[in-house]
Amino acid sequence: MAVQKFDLIVIGAGSGLNVAAEALERGWKVAVIENGPMGGTCLNRGCIPSKMLIHHADVAQTIRDSQRFHIKSKIARIDFKKIVREVNSHVDEEAAGILAGWKNASNGKVFQATARFTGGRTLQAGSAIIQGKNIVIAAGCRPSIPPIPGLAGTPFLTSDDALRLEKQPKTMAILGGGYIAAELAHFFGALGTKVTIIQRNRLLVPDEDEEVAQAFTKEFSKRYAVHLEHVIEKVAYKNKAFTLSIAKKEGGGKKTIKADQLLIATGRIPNSDWLHVKEAGVEVNEHGFVKTNPFLETTAPNVWALGDIVGNYMFKHSANYEAEIVANNLFHAEHKRSVDYTAMPHAVFSNPPMAGVGKTEQELKAENTHYSKAVYPYAHTGMGGALKDSTGFVKVLAEPETGKVLGCHILGYEAPTLLHEVLVLMRNHPNPVQAMQNTIFIHPALSEVVQRAFYQV
């Protein structure tokens, strides 16, 4: 079989396409390998469809909460199938458009196949053998499935397929209490599914600042059945229903839960094992994430890696930033740039939503870092009062001497949007606290809550 040769091979059609597109513009011969729809996890089974679906849940939650504003309302009917089909038809159309564009590229080729390395910069993609002068590994990750007795062979869901479920379950059990669990519990729960969450940690979203996690756990527990510090010991599936045997993590307190659907949301693992990256001389760490240096070069020459498979930050915006760095270092080797993760933010689009950047207070305490702290509630601002938000707050952690922001964490309405003014200052101003204090804010915009937290710190 003849070996097909390329200037660049990109494995994964998510953020890696940003590098591939620039190579095409430069006249390089480019191959893209993707065993699923074009666009990667974010477009097809991650942030884009989930946020489009979650907005429907936000609308439903607004209607349910209207009583607080002395407005009596009622949801007459939810066409769950139509919601899901409408969102996924948009996603599928976008993915098909990307594929069509690549098929029309004169110097580009798409291999719609599973790939694995067979040697240095050599891969088998389906039945084809291909080689690249340069390779970018951007193959992402997949849901981690725990070895629970009885789970294998049952029709459980992961985040990959939950977003395409067209029949709304009356009851759903979710194993896990992290970001994915929080968002999908809100989506299904706000639209009327009775949700039960089984979380082995003492809090939901435990990677958040502890005050945020505590407040979120308290609010979520008012709406859904939340079993903290519990594990599933056994799963049974019969007559289209799941029976879960759960118990306290430290023993005792056994319970039985029945549900129409079981969603596994216990984290994600990198696809490096599927790719056989070690055959190419690419080293991975103890968790399977590809090792890279500050320039995102792997341990193999002319092989770069970015995105979830690297595991530095597992967000779409971080992957896009890493693609920018890889492209620069690939096409401008004489002016290489190292990654700078200063002020890398994240958000959870649940209800209430949350967003954060930098260190949590528990991390600063563990490091014995000296810091100043301020927490300002939404309710103490004009717009927060109008929203009747009694739980939202902004938390700022800063260096007292320099005004450097060590961390900022927000829980409440529009948290992901409110965080952005903090991000701009963290990356571009020597004294973000002073800069925020010196800025004139619109009154009574909700963003005042951020400035007031900075005044207090």
Q: How far apart are CA 79 and CA 52, in angstroms?
A: 15
DSSP 8-class letter at 350: S
Beginning with the edge strand found earlier in the chain, give each strand of the sheet holding 194-199 in spatial order.
225-228, 194-199, 171-175, 261-264
Tokens of 6: 């390329």
Q: How far apart are CA 116 and CA 147, in angstroms?
A: 26
Other beta carbons within 10 angstroms of residue 120's beta carbon come to: 15
Measured in whole angstroms, how far is the alpha carbon of residue 383 from the centre of its chain? 29
* Nearest 10 degrees: Cα torsion 6, 10, 13, 14: -150
Q: What angle do CA 180, 182, 185 make, to 5 degrees?
A: 100
Q: Are 260 and 170 in contact (CB under 8 A)?
A: yes
Query: Residues 6 or more apart from 366 whose CB is under 8 A from it?
Result: none
Q: How far apart are CA 384 and CA 409, in angstroms?
A: 17
Tokens of 447: 């963003």
User: How far are the Cα atoms of 52, 174, 205, 258 from residue 183, in angstroms, in the given order?
Assistant: 12, 11, 11, 21
Q: Are strands 225-228 and 194-199 parallel, antiparallel or unpaired?
A: parallel
Q: How far apart are CA 457 and CA 452, in angstroms?
A: 9
For the question of residue 335 being annotated catalytic, the response is no
Q: How far apart are CA 187 and CA 91, in angstroms?
A: 18
Instruction: Considering the candidates 332, 370, 380, 443, report the single residue annotated as catalytic.
Output: 443
List helix spans (H) across 2-117: 16-25, 40-45, 47-64, 80-103
DSSP assignments along 100-120, one per residue: HHHHT-TTEEEE-S-EEEEET
Between helix 47-64 and helix 80-103 the angle, nearest 10°, is: 160
Query: Residues 6 or more apart from 37 whose CB is under 8 A from it?
Result: 13, 43, 44, 92, 95, 96, 99
Q: Are 118 and 131 in contact (CB under 8 A)?
A: no
Length of the chain: 457
For the annotated catalytic residues, the residue numbers are 443
